[in-house]
Amino acid sequence: MANERTFLAWIRTALGIIAAALALETLSGQHFLESTRRLLVCVLLVFAVLITAAAGFRWFRIEIAMRTNQSLPLPGIVILTAIFVVGCALAIAVLTLQ
């Protein structure tokens, strides 16, 4: 059950990123140029798709490891997500100050 809960947590994270993209598109108004805003929204949506795919792949790998009594794989998606979130926060901060 823990593997399924972790999978659902990643899906919930992807949904949160989709909500952030929607909020950025809807509420940013005049804060960004239209091309910049669209680029940020597209990057967020692509990352949400990648997280969803990675969550499914990770769930499958862990399921196989548990059934064959092997050690569990390391969660590389966590590092990728942290780097992406920090990068987005910095990009938005820089773009907001301009």
What is the pLDDT at residue 11? 95
**56 in Cβ contact with 7 (< 8 Å):** yes
pTM of the predicted structure, to 2 decimals: 0.79
What is the pLDDT at residue 55? 92
What number of other Cβ atoms are within 10 A of residue 40's Cβ? 20
Q: What is the pLDDT along the chain (98 residues), one digit of tens a residue?
A: 788 999 999 999 999 999 999 998 998 877 778 888 898 899 999 999 999 999 999 999 999 999 999 988 888 788 888 898 898 888 878 877 76
